[in-house]
Structure 1
């Protein structure tokens, strides 16, 4: 079949310029992504201006015809707004949504706000990621993840022809980053939290040891801070092998509702039963002894009014303790207890087993298939944590080893996905 070759999708034919007497009109036919040819016109007062005008119009074509919400000429802010609207209906936790909103508002949007989608080149994205990496590896990785989701959204709406992240450099994790506490640091913080606000001249009520006990349970169980604060008597079981804790809730902070206990943990995999090392179990038993039988669903660690301890107050007090311990400036937060336990378990029983204990992956055999899911709880992690971190005569061998790449990945997950200090 002979005839003029068909114009390829995304391209245009010959540009014709007509002198209208004092003005010029340029026009051509552009084949959109729906396969249809459409006229594109522009007018201007000079030949050069009309050529520039029609090329700008061609460069900003949506690609699939009229009716699109986004096009190459859309400001980056329009993409951000539509993506945020889509985020609201996604089935993810409110805490994760808040983290995405904050990262977009504080880091991503300020850099790209002046660009249109058609100006989002790989080179510009590379410059942004390099600037983020100069601040921290974690921040750069968060920003890259956010951009990946946003650009995928733009691609689904045919607003951009390709993902500008493609071709950007891999983010290289910096070497020699402190990932977990040393045994010496653990003992320093232990001593500091036990002595916190107990000396002469302290104004106000003396501490009742709640923060001290929370820190001990964090250290012994490698739970997330919110999971420890959400523990109730009903979640604790004594077995012949030792204490078992059922993590089935977490304390969360929300901008609209404040701090409260959520009746489910961060993820499905986080709903788990774990053995508790003996030194942490003793602390929990002492706390349980102070509660009455009708308080089975009151959080074990609560304030003087019986309300949940807030994550904000825990972090604030912990910062003071770290300062008292002489460790200020190292960036140590309550999350470092989880890092420390993860390091011990990864080196002692393997990364996969450690991840399961931490609640990052689902267990091999799902509990719902059993009538008595508590029939057997492997005590190996508890034994290992007790031996390595107990207050008296701890064995620091596992903490003294070098960090492997697999351990790095596990610890990165703690830092990047959990969003708790």
Structure 2
């Protein structure tokens, strides 16, 4: 319509208090008036709950409110710190100058693609974080839709997740055995902690943090063999440093693991050196008896790789979990391997539909012992074609975030 020679655009909108109000805008043309009307609708402070959030809210204000809500959520402190750090280092700087209404699907698409060009995993973390932030904004009526939902799928990793080869396992074992053992070498000699940790990881496919958290009271050893009970994980926070958390990463992670003999021998040797009163301290400990620092474990493992000539392969401690998963999947199937790894899906099924079975299947330990023992390993399972669902299983291993060591 026109009024006094000017074009007018108007509409009615129901504000947060439930009342309908008329909003108008005037300009020299009908298109300009409509555009100005839309801008006024976006700028109305009443759209959010009690005016806290609205399309005109700057992104940093949303981030601050979301972080306050994050503090109240039942998540591990390490997970919370991971969100805080990624928001501070990556997502926040990219979007800090925009309002919520200005962060469109196209803008999020451009941001994620620019990150994926550098690191797919970084882009995936950003996408997860933005989903959480805009889900929070959506629940508070600050936006009409989540702009992340319409973005393109991020590219899958170019290579399928790999297990260690027997040659790589042997090379790292040899490097671990010889690391810092040279006569006359300055500094402390190797205490064998990381050398023994990788044997336990190879034989159990545990998350590194779970292995670091093992205590004598978590182990049973009888005529049938050794069984580990995963009851915690080692974590690091800036506030508390390194400590043993009294529960593992997820409910499904609390599980019993049969141990092949080559890893059981390592644990028996370490248990024999402990006193009866040490039953609740970690088996792998620093010189003061506290849990090992995840950072120091990673650093020493990188030294092993360099000594073995494998520093350019991309191998990390996570590959030990992949290797155990591969052996069990090819020997027993991917579902059995998922249960062995403590993945959530099978635990949900058991918890809701099946009475919990507390018996421990020793078959995975037999496969791991035959395939990965130090003397005369049998590579038959690793030479088989991948099991059905194996690649999905290994990708899940790569995507899970360990609380302690990657």
Task: Return the alpha-carbon distance in structure 2 between the equivalents of residues 365 and 74 of structure 1.
Answer: 45
Q: For 1:201-220, what aligned pairs fall within 5 Å after superposition?
A: 201-220=184-203
Task: Please state if 1:186 is matched with 2:169.
Answer: yes
C-alpha change, 1:214 and 1:194, in structure 2 (3 Å) is same
Q: 2:65 aligns with which of 68, 82, 87?
A: 82
What corresponds to 1:69 in structure 2?
52
Q: Which of 247, 256, 260 pairs up with 1:264?
A: 247
Name the SS of the counterpart of 1:67 in structure 2: helix
Change (3 A) 1:60 1:194: same
In the superposition, relative to structure 1, how do residues 404 and 84 fare at CA in structure 2: closer, same or farther (>3 Å)? farther
1:129 corresponds to which residue? 112
CA distance in 2, matches of 1:69, 1:299: 47
CA spacing shift, 1:107–1:177, aligned 2, 3 Å:
farther
Quote how far apart the aligned CAs of 1:290 are: 0.6
- Kindly indicate whether residue 404 of structure 2 is the aligned counterpart of residue 418 of structure 1: no
Rounded Cα–Cα distance in structure 1 between residues aligned with 2:63 and 2:136: 10
Identify which range, 328-337 or 257-266, moves more after superposition. 328-337
Deviations for 1:346-371, whole angstroms, at most 9, x for unmatched residues?
Answer: 222222221211111328656x978x
CA distance in 2, matches of 1:278, 1:416: 29
1:156 aligns with 2:154: no
Query: What is residue 6 of structure 1 aligned with on the other side?
Result: none
1:237 is aligned to: 220
Residues 386-401 of structure 1: pairs in structure 2 closer than 5 A: 386-401=369-384
CA distance in 1, matches of 2:138, 2:86: 21
TM, length-normalised to structure 2? 0.89
Q: TM-score, normalised by structure 1?
A: 0.86
Contact 1:17–1:25 (CA<8 Å) still a contact in 2? yes
Deviations 1:175-197 (A, max 9, x none): 32443222211111111011101
Aligned counterpart for 1:283 among listed residues 266, 271, 278 = 266
Counterpart residue number, 2:211: 228
The C-alpha deviation readout for 1:257-299, integer Å capped at 9, x for no partner, is 0001111111111111110111000000011111121211121
- Matched residues in 2 for 1:207 and 1:109: separation? 42
**How far apart are the structure 1 equivalents of 2:317 and 2:103?**
39
Question: Measured at CA, do residues 66 and 32 of structure 1 come closer, stay the same or move farther in structure 2, by a change above 3 Å?
Answer: farther
CA distance in 1, matches of 2:400, 2:44: 38
CA-CA distance at 1:219 after TM superposition: 0.9
* Aligned 8 A contact 2:213 2:233 in 1: yes
Pairing of 1:15-414 with structure 2 (within 5 A): 28-32=10-14, 36-40=19-23, 51=33, 54-61=37-44, 64=47, 67-361=50-344, 362=347, 376-401=359-384, 406-414=389-397
Quick check: 356-365 or 241-250, which moved more? 356-365
Unpaired segments ≥5 residues, structure 2: none
CA offsets 1:39-67 (integer angstroms, 9 cap, x no match): 44679xx858x956554212333574772
Structure 1 range deviating more: 288-297 or 52-61: 52-61
Report the Cα distance in structure 2 between the residues aligned to 1:383 and 1:296, rounded to whole angstroms: 27
Q: CA deviation at 1:68?
A: 2.7
* Separation (CA, whole Å) in 2 of partners of 1:369 and 1:79: 44
Where 1:266 maps in the other structure, the secondary structure is coil
Post-superposition offset of 1:137 = 2.4
Structure 2 vs 1, CA of residues 71 and 17 (structure 1 numbering), >3 Å: closer, same or farther? farther
Residue 285 of structure 1 aligns to a residue whose secondary structure is helix
Whether the aligned pair in 2 keeps the contact of 1:346 and 1:354 (CA below 8 Å) is yes
